[in-house]
């Protein structure tokens, strides 16, 4: 922009979508003018004074070591640098920073409008300090929770006089502590393995990643060491008014077979008598509003979306001004968001019309709230705004979930009734259980997402004789504890207070990326076991869950001005110094252990399952020496015992699914080609499902 231009206000935002919305909201005549400088977009809004809104691309600055190079550790001296100076593939960041610096030259007022949370505050601070020439102390701050025109105008009219420095210091410290952990421990692991094997493989761990892996390894050990024990479950099929019901025996698990047989014999050909009927009514309160963690858990349970995917979807809905800021830990909905106005907007949507109008008729709108608070943002809520573009299926589902949850929290409790009927069969007691909703209350608002079933029992009276059709005994075995899935691991991280609402989903994804775990129900790989074993053996403090949550607490105290950044950094270095020294001294032993683990992990990745032809070999992804093409072959081929092989697609990536085909029971693989949806491939040429599909195609062609 030319030097003769009048001075203007420069607003910096976190992302281009937010910049466009803010500029258009502040422009007196609708949509703001879009401009570009060297490929970097920015927006000009006309008001009493011109406003230029320029976006970042998330973090433009990062922490890096003062001395260049990646092949050494320990590293304790750091500084904040532009990302292009520290990361490969971040060249675009240079152009972005240069454009922001150029725009800052002609500005006489600066406003930070990045997301009002730890990450957003650090992003805005770094831009104003480094790209804008030390403007962090004169800049003002916009605080908003939705990107609606009304809220953005209000936020600009009520600018905060300065940046949120306590939040910035807490955020900056978190980045620095995480960097110190990550760079030292990850380099120690990676360099040890590379020096031993001569081959490079990225290994990583960190302040949160290590303790999270520890949860998974602990659970995996419990599963692998679990010895199933037999038990027997007894049930009775009873007939009441022509309908058959299943009654459970008073003792849920019978651990001795003779006892089970004795009960069966005692109840054979005997009728039962209703001894007691217990009817209980209770109120089921509405759910509390969504914070990010509960939204991620609910979306995983309902739709199978990983926490990371839900976070991305919610962020898109927020940038489209359809929901409030999603990275919140609050379960509170303050009256300032104007419940009535949101419900009026929702009533314009046909599927919400009836429900929204019902709430609007209430004399008072009072949400049921949870305990969790967030000083920056309220719980997640819909703005009531209609989408300006076609949403994809996942966006529609998450938006509908947020809308229905929002309406449900204002509704009445549901009234439910349980009925427990005790049936005496020759002095052995069986129980029939019924569940019924008497008054739906909030359940009507949340109906598509309810997972409980009604069990209606016919009229029954005490003393009534009941016909017992048969008594059956089922042989069962105790089961090991379940493996963590992304939803349950996220809840575990929240409970133990490790990681933050913004980072937990990425930590879970990193464990998959590093091949420490595989599959959705997380199975720890040999590599995951070995990495944790190294850390626990040589530097146990770095995987201490207690120590990690204490560090989180101290960083929260920085935000509350009850702790100093310098103290936290000094203590972090004191923990890391002896840990990294120990890793360095044992580098050769560790290198050998990790190199062998990497080798096994690479082989593990290629194993698809047991060969269905010979039954003793393993099917594995192989590459032809002659053609370089990949195919599936049996490991018994190398022993001269089995010649089974199958072709594979040559494009895209292929990985074992760990699941068997429901049609033929053969192991399966997932094929993923860029730009296409991944699909499951069963390579059995005689699979009945394939034959069915071929028949359907032939039928369609004939028509």
Work out the average pLDDT over 600-608. 85
| Residues 522/188, Cβ–Cβ less than 8 Å | no
User: What CATH architecture applies to the domain 292-408?
Assistant: Orthogonal Bundle (1.10)
- Cβ count within 10 A of residue 638: 10
Q: Is CATH 3.10.350.10 what the domain over 176-224+486-599 is classified as, yes or no?
A: no
Q: Specify the pLDDT at position 702.
A: 67
Confidence check: pLDDT of 5 > 70: no
| Given 249, 325, 352, 538, the catalytic residue | 325
Whether the full predicted model's pTM is greater than 0.75, yes or no, is yes
CA atoms of 117 and 164, how far apart (whole Å)? 10
| Mean pLDDT along residues 194-203 | 91
8 A C-beta contact, residue 75 and residue 183? yes
Average pLDDT of the chain, as a whole number:
93
d(CA 637, CA 643): 5
pLDDT level of residue 299 (50, 70, 90 thresholds): very high
Does the domain at residues 8-163 carry the CATH identifier 3.40.50.140? yes
pLDDT at 567 over 50: yes
Q: Which two tokens stand for residue 232?
A: 């027997």
Residue 123 buriedness (CB in 10 A; 0-12 / 13-18 / 19+): buried
Question: CB of 142 within 8 A of CB of 112?
Answer: yes
CA pair distance 499, 505, nearest whole angstrom = 9
Burial of 437-476, coded b for 16+ CB within 10 Å and e otherwise, reads: beeebbbbbbeebeeeeeeebeebeeeeebebeebebeee
- What pLDDT score does 375 carry? 86
Q: Is the pLDDT of residue 660 over 50?
A: yes
Positive or negative, the CA dihedral 510, 515, 516, 517 is positive
Kindly state which CATH superfamily the domain 230-286+414-477 is placed in: Topoisomerase I, domain 3 (2.70.20.10)
Q: Determine the average pLDDT of the residues in 516-523.
A: 90
Task: Give residue 261's pLDDT band: very low, low, confident or very high (50, 70, 90).
Answer: very high
Distance of alpha carbon 143 from alpha carbon 99, whole angstroms: 25
Residue 161 has pLDDT above 90, yes or no: yes
Of the listed ranges 28-32, 44-48, 81-85, 523-527, the one predicted with least confidence: 28-32
Q: Give residue 703's pLDDT band: very low, low, confident or very high (50, 70, 90).
A: low
Domain map (residue ranges) of the chain: 8-163, 176-224+486-599, 230-286+414-477, 292-408, 608-702
Q: Name the 3-class secondary structure at 357.
A: helix
Most confident of 31-35, 381-385, 542-546: 381-385
Predicted confidence band of residue 3 (pLDDT cuts 50, 70, 90): very low
pLDDT-above-90 percentage for the chain: 77
The pLDDT, as a whole number, for residue 323 is 98
pLDDT above 50 for 1 = no
Give the chain's length. 703
* Segment 491-500 mean pLDDT: 92
pLDDT exceeds 50 at position 50: yes
* pLDDT tens for each residue of 605-652: 888 888 988 888 989 998 888 888 999 999 898 888 898 888 888 888
- Classify burial at 161, counting beta carbons within 10 Å of its beta carbon; exposed 0-12, middle 13-18, buried 19 or more: exposed
At 95 the three-state DSSP class reads helix
Our answer to whether residue 249 is catalytic in this structure is: no
């Amino acid at each position: 922009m030319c030097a003769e231009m009048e001075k203007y206000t420069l607003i910096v935002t976190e992302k281009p979508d937010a910049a466009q919305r803010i500029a258009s909201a502040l422009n007196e005549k609708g949509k703001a003018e879009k401009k570009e400088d060297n490929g970097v977009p920015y927006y000009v809004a006309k008001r009493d004074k011109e406003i230029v809104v320029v976006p970042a691309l998330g973090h433009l600055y990062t922490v890096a070591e003062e001395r260049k190079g990646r092949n050494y550790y320990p590293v304790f001296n750091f500084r904040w640098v532009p990302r292009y100076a520290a990361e490969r593939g971040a060249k675009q960041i240079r152009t972005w920073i240069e454009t922001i610096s150029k725009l800052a030259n002609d500005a006489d007022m600066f406003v930070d409008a990045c997301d009002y949370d730890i990450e957003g505050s650090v992003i805005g601070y770094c831009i104003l300090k480094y790209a804008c020439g030390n403007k962090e102390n004169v800049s003002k701050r916009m605080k908003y929770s939705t990107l609606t025109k009304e809220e953005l105008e209000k936020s600009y009219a009520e600018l905060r006089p300065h940046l949120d420095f306590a939040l910035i210091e807490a955020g900056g410290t978190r980045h620095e502590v995480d960097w110190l952990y990550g760079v030292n421990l990850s380099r120690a692991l990676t360099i040890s393995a590379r020096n031993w094997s001569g081959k490079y493989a990225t290994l990583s761990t960190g302040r949160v990643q290590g303790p999270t892996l520890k949860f998974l390894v602990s659970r995996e050990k419990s599963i692998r060491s679990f010895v199933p024990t037999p038990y027997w479950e007894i049930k009775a099929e009873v007939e009441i008014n022509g309908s058959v019901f299943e009654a459970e025996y008073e003792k849920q698990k019978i651990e001795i077979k003779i006892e089970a047989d004795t009960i069966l014999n005692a109840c054979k050909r005997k009728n039962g008598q209703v001894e007691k009927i217990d009817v209980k009514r209770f109120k089921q309160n509405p759910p509390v509003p969504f914070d990010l963690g509960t939204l991620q858990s609910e979306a995983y349970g309902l739709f199978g979306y990983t926490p990371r995917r839900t976070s991305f979807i919610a962020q898109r809905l927020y940038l489209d001004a359809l929901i409030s800021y999603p990275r919140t830990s609050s379960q509170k909905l303050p009256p300032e968001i104007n419940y009535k106005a949101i419900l009026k907007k929702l009533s314009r949507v046909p599927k919400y019309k009836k429900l929204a109008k019902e709430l609007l008729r209430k004399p008072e709108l009072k949400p049921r709230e949870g305990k969790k608070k967030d000083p920056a943002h309220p719980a997640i809520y819909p703005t009531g705004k209609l989408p300006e573009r076609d949403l994809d299926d996942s966006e529609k589902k998450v938006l509908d979930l947020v809308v229905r949850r929002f309406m449900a929290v204002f509704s009445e409790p549901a009234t439910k009734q349980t009925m427990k009927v005790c049936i005496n069969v020759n002095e052995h007691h069986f129980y029939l259980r019924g569940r019924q909703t008497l008054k739906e209350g909030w359940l009507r608002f949340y109906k598509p997402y309810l997972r409980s079933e009604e069990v209606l029992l016919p009229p029954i009276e005490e003393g009534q004789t009941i016909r017992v059709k048969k008594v059956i005994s089922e042989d069962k075995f105790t089961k090991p504890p379940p493996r963590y899935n992304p939803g349950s691991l996220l809840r575990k991280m929240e409970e133990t207070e490790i990681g933050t609402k913004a980072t937990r989903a990425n930590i879970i994804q990193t464990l998959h990326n590093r091949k420490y775990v595989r599959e959705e129900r997380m199975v720890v790989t040999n590599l995951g076991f070995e990495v944790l074993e190294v850390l626990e053996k040589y530097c146990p403090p770095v995987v201490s869950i207690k120590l990690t949550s204490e560090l989180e607490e101290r960083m929260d105290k920085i935000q509350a001005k009850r702790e100093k950044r310098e103290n936290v950094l000094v203590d972090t270095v004191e923990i890391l110094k002896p840990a990294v020294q120990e890793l360095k001294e044992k580098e050769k032993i560790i290198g050998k252990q990790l190199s062998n683990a990497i080798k096994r992990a690479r082989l593990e990745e290629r194993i698809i399952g047991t060969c269905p032809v010979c039954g003793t070999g393993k099917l594995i992804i192989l590459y032809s020496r002659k053609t370089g093409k990949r195919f599936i072959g049996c490991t018994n081929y190398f022993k001269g015992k089995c010649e089974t092989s199958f072709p594979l697609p040559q494009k895209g990536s292929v990985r074992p699914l760990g699941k068997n085909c429901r049609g033929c029971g053969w192991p399966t693989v997932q094929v993923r080609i860029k730009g296409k949806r991944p699909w499951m491939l069963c390579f059995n040429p005689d699979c009945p499902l394939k034959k069915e599909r071929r028949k359907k195609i032939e039928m369609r062609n004939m028509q």
